[in-house]
Chains A and B, each alone.
Chain A
Amino acid sequence: MKRSFLIILVLSLFGLALYAAGTIVVWGNSNNVFINNNIPAGDDFVQVAGGRNYGIALRSNGTLAAWGKNTSNIVSNTPSGSNFIAISAGYEHAIALRSDGSIAAWGKNSNNVVSNTPTGNNFVKIAAGDYHNIALKTDGTVVAWGSNSRNQVSETPISETFTDIAAGFSFCVAVKTDGSIAFWGNSGGGNNLTPVPTGNNFVGVSAKNIHVLAMKNDGSIVAWGNATENLNVPAGTYIQMSAGWQGNLAIRTDGTLAAWANLWALRTIPDWVQDLDIAYVCAGYDFSLGITGSLDADGDGVADNLDAYPNDPLRAYDIIYPLNSPDAWGTLAFEDMWPQQGDYDFNDLVLDYNFKLVVNAQLKVVDIVTDLRLRAIGATFQNAFAVEFPFPASNVASVSGTGAGAPYQMPLIEAGEHCILKVISSTNDFVNVPGNDIFWNTQPELPNYPYIPISFTMNLVQPYDTDSSPEWGIANPYLMVNRVMGHEVHLPGYPPTMYADQSLFGMDDDTTDPSTGRYYKTSNNLPWALDIPISWKYPIEKKQITQAYFAFKPWAESGGAQYPNWYELTPGLHNPDFIYNP
């Protein structure tokens, strides 16, 4: 359950608009340029209301904002001041309640609906109809003013007391202190506005046009009036409701929204709105309004429903590679003969990875959480595997590692402004590869073994801004040939660490030249390592990648333009006999 609605439920008992503050959202009528443009910005709104092509909103600091079509200066004449506590929108006029109990009115003055606003400081609730208004006093009595076209003003039962009020096109409706419904106005009219529902279990009313919504003390809503779709309240229990001219909105006790409407466009709540934590709704003339809930338990500015760490102000989101999925894996595949060319089966070391950046509300990295799957060792060397990060070791608060289900020591090495985590000190820590042409998980004629899980978590002292990361990003993975520090094999184009043995650059088949930014490629531009965005089916022992995957050639020769999915097992584009796929 979205807890923000508990706040509303409790505070609404006081009849005040003390909702969690948030941002205004508008939906339902994308063609209404008046209401969809210039929506007031900010995340401190507590109430919103809408009439014919305009909206008004109340900020938590007691000031008002308005937008939309400026008919009768409904927008430009919005009163100033910082002591407003409630608002209500009529067709083309609006009213607002101040904290001192007085009422302000502005907009179109039909039937003196603005100019006849009662004075005094004894009001606690207000409701605007199309051309008339009603207000609830501190003593529970009510007063109405404006259009009396159907006696909606003159028939006001001035001696009775009420707890909630609403006004429609030409009528008023209220909840009596005994929990029953009172209705007046609409004289001579039909539209099924009377008789009203009986019973003494009503706690709130909302009305517009020629229909009424009434909420019972069990959270259910009943509707009556003109027999249209506006009466088709979805079953359920609710904590807030709003009747509009063309449609209606309500918030269920589980925090989800309900909409029912005459206007087809208002019957659907778009996904992007459903995804929000809406804390307050108001049905405008032909549009829908809401205010996002800002329940933010850790105060990091990310609402709890969007916060992966709602009780941790230092953490907000997970960004996961590849493809932002905890279930997705990429593959690092190495050849380990550098600076000599190898057999190009890219299975000397095969590691799947799921690389998660835990970031704060400003998207700066707080933790790095990585899961690896050691899948193949087609090597005689006992290699090591490490990752360089673009921040100093002094910025690492802690590192913890596991391998094969047990704690595994992963040394953190200072590297100037960078640091290096030796993730696998030796593949022999996990697998004893016999050698002599017997390898691990690369020969289909030999038994296949489950992958070995390896993971590490790195916590940072100061959050790291990826915006300032080097060209290679936030991780520079590499293989240490036969565990020799400095004998590094990186992805092509990735620079060596400061510990790389530069005497090896340009030796044998390598053409690495740091002065030109060329790294880890042969003279005919072949690599020693690949980073593939899926859990890749690598070639079997001694079979070149180009013999296993036919599209690798045109992909590489086209500079990546052709066959970008060359690594998939596309029918006709691979040789299944040359791919390790037990």
Chain B
Amino acid sequence: MDALTGVDIQELNVPSDFNYQMSRNVSINIIGAYRLPLTIRTTDGDVLLKAVMNPEFGIQTKLNIPGTVQSVVLAYQGQEVNINISSGVMQYDFSGGEGGRK
């Protein structure tokens, strides 16, 4: 691969649907049966959210997450699962998903 150098910006051939976003809104829907903390962190250890699980409604919100983050770690009740968020959705059921306890 040739080394990158400076170019005139008018040389760029950018896809028409590219919006230059370096982060994206991710819809979160995590379910758990116990009122215990859920931590969402990057694989590098940066905590994106730490909140107490609502056993009735789960944790539902949107988070703006850097585009460089392709997957996150969900930590809950001693379990840790890795979730790919490239689709813009972060969904997991700790009561019925893999490793679920209930």
| Distance of A210 from chain B, by nearest CB (Å) | 30
Query: What residues of chain A lie closer than 8 Å to B48, measured between beta carbons?
Result: 323-324
Tell me if A545 counts as interface (CB < 8 A to partner B). yes
**B42 and chain A: residue at smallest CB distance:** A323
CB contacts (< 8 Å) of A544 on chain B: these are 6, 8-9
CB of B66 within 8 A of CB of A557, answer no
Q: Is there contact, CB below 8 Å, between A530 and B102? A: no
Contact with A along B54-90 (1 / 0, CB 8 A): 1101011111101110000001011000000000000
Contact A272 B23 (CB under 8 A): no
Q: Residue of B at shortest CB range from A468?
A: B62
Q: How far is the CB of A500 from chain B (nearest CB, A)?
A: 18
Residue of A with least CB distance to B1: A554
Q: A467-B27, A524-B13 are in contact. Are A41 and B102 (CB under 8 A)?
A: yes
Q: How far is the CA of A276 from the CA of B78 in the complex (A)?
A: 11
Bound complex: CA A469 to CA B25 (Å): 10
A308 vs chain B, min Cβ distance (A)? 10
B19 touches A556 (CB 8 A): no
Cβ of A270 within 8 Å of any chain B Cβ, yes or no, is yes
- Pick the residue among B9, B22, B46 that contacts A564 (CB under 8 A): B22
Does A221 sit within 8 A of B, measured CB to CB?
A: no
Q: In the complex, A559 Cα to B22 Cα: how many Å?
A: 11
Q: Are B36 and A550 in contact (CB under 8 A)?
A: no
* Chain B 1-42 per-residue mask, 1 if CB under 8 angstroms from chain A, else 0: 001111111111111111111110101000001111100000
- A527 contacts partner chain B, Cβ-Cβ < 8 Å: yes
Asked if A324 meets B46 with Cβ closer than 8 Å, knowing A473-B64, A527-B20, A531-B21, the reply is yes
Which A residues lie within 8 Å of B33 (CB)? Answer: 41
A36 contacts the other chain (CB 8 A): yes
Report whether B34 and A524 are in contact in the complex, using a CB–CB cutoff of 8 Å: no
Give every chain A residue within 8 A of B75 (Cβ-Cβ): 272
Chain A residues whose C-beta falls within 8 Å of the C-beta of B78 in the assembled complex:
25-27, 30, 270, 272-273
CA distance A559 to B60 in the complex (A): 29
CA distance A548 to B8 in the complex (A): 10
A39 touches B8 (CB 8 A): no
Instruction: Collect the chain B residues with CB atoms within 8 Å of residue A467's CB.
Output: 27, 60-62
Chain A residues near B20: list those with CB within 8 A.
491-493, 527, 530, 556, 560
Q: CA–CA, A560 to B6, complex, Å?
A: 18
Residues of chain A within 8 A of B13, CB atoms compared = 524, 557
Interface residues of A, dominant DSSP: loop
Q: Given A531-B21, A553-B7, A559-B18, does the pair A306, B50 have CB atoms closer than 8 Å?
A: yes
Q: Which residues of A contact B57 (CB under 8 A)?
A: 362
* Residues of chain A contacted by B22 (CB below 8 angstroms): 530-533, 560, 564, 567
A553 vs B12: C-alpha distance when bound (angstroms): 6
Contact A25 B27 (CB under 8 A): no
Contact call B34/A41, Cβ cutoff below 8 A: yes
Residues of A contacting B59 in the complex (Cβ-Cβ under 8 angstroms): 363
Task: Given A492-B20, A525-B16, A553-B4, decide whether A25 and B77 contact each other with a Cβ distance below 8 A.
Answer: yes
Whether, in the assembled complex, A275 has its beta carbon less than 8 Å from a beta carbon of chain B, the answer is yes
List of B residues within 8 angstroms of A43 by Cβ: 34-35, 55
Complex Cα distance A526/B19, Å? 9
Stretch at the interface among A93-101, A111-119, A571-579: A571-579
**Candidates B18, B54, B62; contact of A560 at CB < 8 Å:** B18
User: Given known contacts A41-B55, A273-B78, A524-B10, is B23 in contact with A319 (CB within 8 Å)?
Assistant: no
Complex CA gap A324/B7 in Å reads: 35
What residues of A have a CB within 8 angstroms of the CB of B23 in the complex? Answer: 321-322, 531, 533
* B-chain residues with CB within 8 Å of residue A445 when the two chains form the complex: none
CB-defined contacts of B36 to chain A, threshold 8 Å:
23, 25, 276, 292
State the CA gap A557–B12 with chains docked (Å).
7
Q: Which residues of B contact A301 (CB under 8 A)?
A: 35, 52, 54
CB B91 to nearest CB in A, in angstroms, measures 13
A525-B7 in contact (CB<8A)? no
Specify which of A361, A557, A564 is in contact with B68 (CB 8 Å cutoff). Answer: A564
Cα–Cα, bound, A81→B62 (Å)? 43
Given contacts A322-B66, A546-B7, A547-B7, contact A473 B25 (CB under 8 A): yes
Shortest Cβ distance from residue A333 to the other chain B in the assembled complex, whole angstroms: 11
User: In chain A, residues 188-205, which have Cβ atoms closer than 8 Å to a Cβ of chain B?
Assistant: none
Query: Nearest Cβ in chain B — how far from A520, in angstroms?
Result: 9
Whether the pair B27, A560 counts as a contact (CB closer than 8 A) is: no
B18–A525 contact, CB under 8 A?
A: yes
Within 8 A of B (CB), among A522-565: 524-527, 530-533, 544-548, 550-551, 553-554, 556-557, 559-560, 564-565
Most chain B Cβ neighbours within 10 Å, of A465, A527, A546: A546
Contact present for A559 and B15 (CB under 8 Å): yes
Instruction: List, in ascending order, chain A residues with CB within 8 A of B62's CB.
Output: 466-467, 469, 473
User: Which residue of chain B has its CB nearest to the CB of A531?
Assistant: B22
Bound-state CA distance A28–B20 (Å) is: 47
- Residues in A whose Cβ lies below 8 Å from that of B66: 322-323, 533
Task: Judge whether A437 is part of the interface by a CB distance below 8 angstroms.
Answer: no
Our pick among A344, A363, A466, A525 for the contact of B15 (Cβ within 8 Å) is A525
**CB-defined contacts of B15 to chain A, threshold 8 Å:** 525, 557, 559
- In the bound assembly, the distance between CA atoms of A521 and B102 in angstroms comes to 50
User: Assuming A36-B101, A317-B51, A363-B61, is B25 touching A578 (CB within 8 A)?
Assistant: no
Instruction: List, in ascending order, chain B residues with CB within 8 A of A25's CB.
Output: 34, 36, 77-78
| 11 A-B contacts (beta carbon < 8 Å) | A42-B35, A306-B50, A323-B46, A324-B49, A526-B9, A526-B14, A533-B66, A533-B68, A551-B4, A556-B12, A560-B67
A292-B36, A325-B46, A546-B12 given. 7 additional CB < 8 A pairs? A25-B78, A39-B102, A359-B61, A527-B20, A531-B23, A547-B8, A553-B4
5 shortest A-B CB distances, which residue pairs?
A493-B19, A550-B4, A547-B6, A525-B14, A41-B33
Residues of B within 8 A of A (CB): 3-23, 25, 27, 33-37, 46-52, 54-55, 57, 59-64, 66-68, 75, 77-78, 101-102
